[in-house]
Amino acid sequence: MIHFTIHPMKKYKHPVEVKVDNTIIKPLDHTRLLGVIIDKQFNWRRHLDHIEAKIAPRIGLLRYLSRTAYEPNSRTMINIFKSIARTIIRYGYPVLLTANQNVWNQIQIIQNKALRAALGLPIYTSVDYIYKISNIPKIKDFATTLLKKSVMSSFRSHYYTQLSARQQRDEMQWMQLHDNATYLMHYNALG
């Protein structure tokens, strides 16, 4: 149980306690819910610390692989980065989309470290250069795009359940010719 508060240092006269079967449950400072660590002030510091601790050995592995390989292939190293590092970084992104920009800056720094390690670049390499050669979007842009895709997928599956087989075939042909924005306008017009 967490007691969310804007005043973390304030001591209450009657602290929140719940009694269930003669067991008193006291509020915690943080808890893990579906892999995302939520604290009572919603500042995400514990979650970021957890991500950093979990990704540190993986960054070390990326650095080791990029240094030991004779002429490492950047595409291969980026694919390894995507599979072992970005999966940790992006976990819980729908919840984190509500976080402030400072949280996203911290997550971006973690991704930058991992990309530098994967590509064998020194720590002083500029961020613009890293993203230019890797062709990987910044983490908040990636998370936003991923959420939009999942919403569109859910939207389409709901929409298709209401169509007959012939209408579905016609709709698929129509979608191949138009983009997502036009698709949404078409869907809204159909009601």
Based on the domain organization, do 102 and 186 belong to the same domain? no
Q: What is the pTM of this model?
A: 0.67
Based on the domain organization, do 36 and 49 belong to the same domain? no
Based on the domain organization, do 79 and 119 belong to the same domain? yes
Based on the domain organization, do 50 and 81 belong to the same domain? yes
Asked whether residue 184 carries a pLDDT value surpassing 60, the answer given is no
Residues 15-39, mean pLDDT to the nearest whole number: 74
Give the structural domain span for 9: 1-41
Q: How confident is the model at residue 90 (pLDDT cuts 50, 70, 90)?
A: confident
* Mean pLDDT for the chain overall: 78
Asked whether residue 114 carries a pLDDT value surpassing 90, the answer given is yes
Based on the domain organization, do 104 and 153 belong to the same domain? no
What integer pLDDT is reported at residue 59 of this predicted model? 93
The DSSP 8-state label assigned to residue 49 in this structure reads H
Q: How confident is the model at residue 113 (pLDDT cuts 50, 70, 90)?
A: very high
Based on the domain organization, do 118 and 179 belong to the same domain? no
Q: How many domains does the chain have?
A: 3
